[in-house]
A and B are shown apart, each in its own frame.
Chain A
């Protein structure tokens, strides 16, 4: 298991699209360092013969009939948009 000093909060924050302040970066590095050191106890466990459990209930390949049904109107789907126009969500400009 990796050493906790490898936790580079500024780098991870960029991956998570979260513009943390320097104060937050410093605080989280310390607090999450504690949590990750605590989590190192998992290294004690022999998991060599264990299959990973994605969740506790074995359900696979759930399908339902592919039938048309009523769902949101465009107006409902847009009802919470911070910005919209002409029945569309307005996204911040992506291309120059």
Chain B
């Protein structure tokens, strides 16, 4: 194995070499830097890199730690001390994080090395990463298409072998959907399982941090490092953290998988339907039992999600006022002009759209009709899942109704873009956990575009979801197929 081949490794295989002293953390980091310099001009996965700071960490890395010497890419919504944290927004231009988020502190304690910040939709609002105010990230499977979003930079970096593992955030599918569209693994933990302290808030009742990786085992390894109670966050669950790798390798005999009829909707791409049907059949052959179930309020989830998420966002984003950090309008004539122009000039179109919608649904006279009603329907959606999880271990569905789409294809109509979250946002509303794993390809215009299989589990059942996803992944070859550009560049 030469340095050139190292970036293609997953975390588990990389650790095998590190622990046998066949490669040093510094050599790993240098190989990754070379890979990023080679390909990121085409992919644009990263917003900032600091290999100088990372090299110092690598020199003193303790490889016996659970993630010792493993570089991890971080979505640019998570504070890493001394690094920019732009949320891909002009309004945070020039901001440097004065502290580490709890997840970063935990990753460092496990020996991992943060080295770069990945692109995203501005403030995590979007499903294509096209809402980044800084750059467009390209899908490594077809450079004319989006990587999904909002954690599109993290997903594209993993797909293009520009990272061994990454962190993303998932408010309505922002880890799982880009993982599906980019052909990698994305895991959304239970609400409260992973601390959000130091993560810029979008919708506080929905946001959750999780891993984006090449294989399921790597997600389990990262979860082992980042999960757990944080006294600095009131919504953090004070529950013991199991070893998420312990159950990997258990087979699917006796596992009951639910297939919700509401998830078999018109408008799902036929090739995605075919891939999911094949995956369901495959799971059966591995011993799983398939049970038809119903989640009757599914059709309301997107409406509920966009009312609650925008309402919370409008409140959270009120803190960007041009006083304490970030962008500030020039020569304001008074305080209202200062606020109004700072925010008009600093926020991009999708963020403004959502602030308006969120402010409207919270405003006097409309609160009961929209916000309060949405909270009640949310409770019904939560109850739907609770009932179904009395009968099954996990739910199985597509992650996204469509494969990666072209730049600009869905930006003109925000509602169409919002419907991209139809299979993912219910899990955030219910606070449960879920994963997307590669399960096949759709052939579109001569390109093979990845398809993701979503598995949803009840709250705090991460270990079981990872176990089922691992059993599926390891008995298929999908995760071994590399994007054509990644494969070609490794040969070159």
Judged by a CB distance under 8 angstroms, whether A91 is at the interface is yes
B360 at the interface (CB under 8 A from A): yes
B357 touches A32 (CB 8 A): yes
Q: B48 → chain A, closest Cβ, in Å?
A: 15
Interface residues of B in 354-376 (CB under 8 A from A): 355-357, 359-360, 363, 365-366, 369-370, 372-376
Q: Give chain B nearest CB distance to A94 CB in angstroms.
A: 5
Determine if A59 and B234 form an interchain contact, defined as CB atoms under 8 angstroms apart: yes
Contact residues in A for B413 (Cβ distance below 8 Å): 31, 34
B contact patch SS: helix
CB-based contact A53/B414 at 8 Å: no
The CA-CA distance from A83 to B326 in the complex, in Å, is: 10
Q: Does B66 contact A (CB under 8 A)?
A: no
Of the candidates A35, A42, A45, A89, which one forms a contact with B418 in the assembled complex, judged by CB atoms under 8 Å apart?
Answer: A35
B297 at the interface (CB under 8 A from A): yes
Q: Once bound together, how far apart are the Cα atoms of A96 and B118, in whole Å?
A: 45
- Please report the C-alpha to C-alpha distance between residue A7 and residue B231 in the assembled complex, in whole angstroms: 41
Chain A: CB-nearest residue to B322:
A82
Dominant SS among interface residues on chain A: loop
Q: Does A56 sit at the interface, judged by CB under 8 A?
A: yes
A41 to B323, CA, bound (A): 40
| Given contact pairs A1-B370, A17-B336, A80-B95, A12 touches B356 in the complex (Cβ within 8 A) | yes
Query: Which stretch of B127-135, B377-385, B392-400, B401-409 is in the interface?
Result: B377-385
The interface on chain B, measured as residues whose beta carbon lies within 8 A of the other chain's beta carbons, has a size of 76
A82 touches B323 (CB 8 A): yes
Distance (Å) between the CB of B151 and the closest chain A CB? 21
Bound: A9/B355 CA distance, A: 11
CB distance from B263 to the nearest CB of A (A): 18
Scan B82-114; emit 1 where CB is below 8 A from any A CB, else 0. Answer: 000000000000111011000000000000000
Cβ of A6: which chain B residues have Cβ within 8 Å of it?
366
Determine whether the beta carbon of B366 is less than 8 Å from that of A2.
yes
Judged by a CB distance under 8 angstroms, whether A85 is at the interface is: no
Select B363's contact among A15, A79, A81, beta carbons within 8 Å. A15
**Among B55-63, B282-290, B303-311, which stretch is in contact with chain A?**
B303-311
Q: Which of B17-25, B162-170, B327-335 contacts A (4 or more CB under 8 A)?
A: B327-335
- Are A81 and B360 also in contact (CB < 8 A) when A19-B344, A76-B98 are? no
Binary flags per residue of A44-70, CB closer than 8 Å to B gives 1, else 0: 010100111111110100101000000
Chain A interface extent, by class:
35 or more
Per-position binary interface string of chain A over residues 22-33, scored 1 when its CB falls under 8 Å from any chain B CB and 0 otherwise? 001000100110
In the bound assembly, the distance between CA atoms of A43 and B304 in angstroms comes to 11
| Complex CA–CA separation, A20 to B344 (angstroms) | 6
Given known pairs A18-B347, A64-B231, the reply for A45 and B377 (CB within 8 Å) is: yes
Chain B residues with CB below 8 A from A89, complex form: 323-324
Nearest 4 Cβ contacts at the A-B interface: A56-B431, A19-B340, A80-B325, A55-B205
Could you list some 8 contacts between A and B, CB below 8 A? A1-B370, A42-B373, A53-B379, A55-B191, A56-B432, A57-B431, A82-B327, A89-B324
Task: Beyond A2-B365, A56-B205, A56-B382, list 20 extra A-B contacts (CB 8 Å).
Answer: A1-B370, A12-B356, A16-B343, A32-B360, A41-B299, A42-B370, A42-B373, A45-B297, A50-B376, A51-B376, A52-B379, A55-B205, A57-B192, A59-B192, A72-B98, A72-B99, A77-B98, A81-B325, A82-B323, A83-B328
Residues of A whose CB lies within 8 Å of any CB of B are: 1-2, 6-7, 9, 12-13, 15-21, 24, 28, 31-32, 34-36, 38-39, 41-43, 45, 47, 50-57, 59, 62, 64, 72, 76-77, 79-83, 89, 91-94
